[in-house]
Structure 1
Amino acid sequence: MQADTAHGVQRRPAARPRPLSAYRRDELARLEDLAHRMDTMFRIPMTEIRVGLDTILGLIPGIGDTATAIPAGYIVYRGYKLGAPKSLLVRMGVNAGIDWLIGSIPLVGDLFDLGFKANRRNVRLLRRHFERTAAPA
């Protein structure tokens, strides 16, 4: 453990990512591609703001956010099939639920979708989990 000299606090060194199995690596790459399409596929011209199909479909009143809940649910499902622990799946479900619930509020939800990228968050959580728990090569 390393000591933080400013506060006298002991810290663990950052864990290095471990190699993933080929199956998990490929599946995470597919999920990252889906999350990119849903959350950050397009850049708004003359800005650094990125939006995806989630934001665009969310503009359709009534059905847009419900339709985008399907890919979000698929990401959580694939996390389950990959063997993610229940606590992680609950956290991912909460992210997807927040995205759906707040996203379904007219105007407020559309603005919220610009910053809260639930699909990318969830895939990042999966990747981080599996890199930490992968068997050493």
Structure 2
Amino acid sequence: MSEQPQAAKEGQPAARRRSSPRAPGQVIACGWCGQDVPVPARGRVPKWCSAACRHRAWEQARAAASGRSAVEVRDRVVERVKTVTVVQHHTREVPVAWRPTSVPDFVDVLEDLTTRVDSGRVYDRDIPTLAAAVKATVKALARREKAAHRPLW
């Protein structure tokens, strides 16, 4: 039988592990001698580099509390690394292929094509392909007119 944390036994969700807010290799100065003291990734932040410095600081603090000495023990601020995630939303319009579905739409497309050809906004290399497509459309209209036995236009 596996052992579960006390919170999980009582029906509460187990506590999540949090990542350390401290950067690896971070150091602070000893409160007594000023020597660099490495800061561990977890646990309390050390104030002293050794037991000897801790004891000397305790002696001075005790003496200062009794009024015999004016030495003050310094507390230091340890900077932490905080990761902030920033989400940026970008909106971009994407052209979508559109095909005409009604007679007015086809008329608009043909008028636009006529305007572009007249104003030179169609490459010369594309004219033969367009001409073949327009000829095929005109032939289809002529076949429809012949099948209806009356002029369509």
The structure with higher relative contact order (CA 8 Å, sep 6+) is 1
Q: The TM-score by the shorter chain falls in which range?
A: under 0.3
The alignment's TM-score, normalised by the length of structure 2, stands at: 0.23
Larger radius of gyration: 2
The alignment's TM-score, normalised by the length of structure 1, stands at: 0.25
